[in-house]
Amino acid sequence: MNNIVFGQYYPTGSVVHRMDPRIKLLAVILYIVTVFFIKDYTMYGAILVFVLGVSCVAKIPLKVLLRTVRTIIFLVLITSIINLFFTRGGKLLVKWGVIKIYSEGIHHAVKLTLRLILLMLFPSLLTLTTTPMELTDAMESLMKPLKVIKVPVHAIALIMSIALRMIPILMEETNKIMLAQKARGADFDSGGVLKKAKAMIPVLVPLFVGAFRRADELALAMDARCYSSVAKRTKYKVMHLSVRDLVGGLICLAVFTVVFLNKYLWAFDSMILALFK
């Protein structure tokens, strides 16, 4: 549970922390779209260098950022194994009974592994460098045009803010419950999968009870303060774009544009070579 980074804020006071959250949110959306368009290993390496560079500028320790990979290691292994053994194409490398491994299967497995890792790293930087309140304000500001079609923008942003705030709280609560159960003799490490799953029941029951209790207390507190999501509300901190935000946004846009251009220029070069052949 301590390895879960997404949803936690790591204050360092860096330039990235002080950037407008709307720019950072748009950069993450564009980054996710860009990662799905990457086809060659060179661009995977370039994007990884870009992410590590942003992490250095944000003064986020590498070990803190890499904790994100630990949380999805099981998913990465499962999807890589499926692609490795079930993708056909290219040269047959290994044949052992019904098990066949092709060169295309290895390429698909490696690329999918890199893609999953990259998809976790940059969004984690967003939550590490942006408070939940800033994310809420950014989402609400970016979704303002949807108010024209009667979409409850403020309510959606509020739900996202509460969800992000609850992640570290629930992790801390889970650690406390597990330590209390271990002090009473509970064993979460030994045995098979079924035994470990059964041992988690004494943790899940009080965790869900505590989560519902916290949600009820939060609802009562908001109701006691006459909170209304439909009322016209002002902002204590009004967001303004600065030169720093524009420079950071342009750098991100330039990097992602190079990735797109590389994809299409590579396809264009391949087409020219095919014509000459």
* Confidence label for 7 from pLDDT (cuts 50, 70 and 90): low
**pLDDT at position 5 over 60:** no
Structural domain boundaries in the chain: 1-129+257-277
Tell me what the pLDDT averaged over the chain comes to.
Answer: 80
Instruction: Find the distance separating the first CA and the last CA of the chain, reported in whole Å.
Output: 56
**pLDDT at position 35 over 60:** yes
CA neighbor of 156 nearest in space, from 148, 146, 165, 166: 146
Q: Half-sphere exposure of residue 103, counting CA atoms within 13 Å on the CB side? A: 3
**pLDDT at position 44 over 60:** yes
Q: What is the pLDDT of residues 215-259, one digit of tens each?
A: 899 889 988 888 776 667 777 777 788 888 888 888 888 888 887
pLDDT number for residue 266: 54
* Confidence label for 275 from pLDDT (cuts 50, 70 and 90): very low
Q: Do 120 and 98 touch, CB atoms closer than 8 A?
A: no
Q: How far is residue 35's CA from residue 114's CA, in Å, rounded to a whole number?
A: 10
| Cα 194 versus chain centre, distance | 29
Mean pLDDT of 84-88: 74
User: Helix, strand, or coil here: 262?
Assistant: helix
**pLDDT at position 38 over 70:** yes
pTM: 0.73
Q: Half-sphere exposure of residue 267, counting CA atoms within 13 Å on the CB side? A: 8
Q: Which residue has the higher pLDDT, 74 or 19?
A: 19
The long-range contacts involving 203-212, CB below 8 angstroms and separated by at least 24 positions, are 203/174, 203/177, 203/178, 206/177, 207/170, 207/173, 207/174, 207/177, 210/173, 211/166, 211/170, 211/173
**pLDDT at position 3 over 60:** no
Q: How far is residue 271's CA from residue 25's CA, in Å, rounded to a whole number?
A: 36
**pLDDT at position 157 over 50:** yes
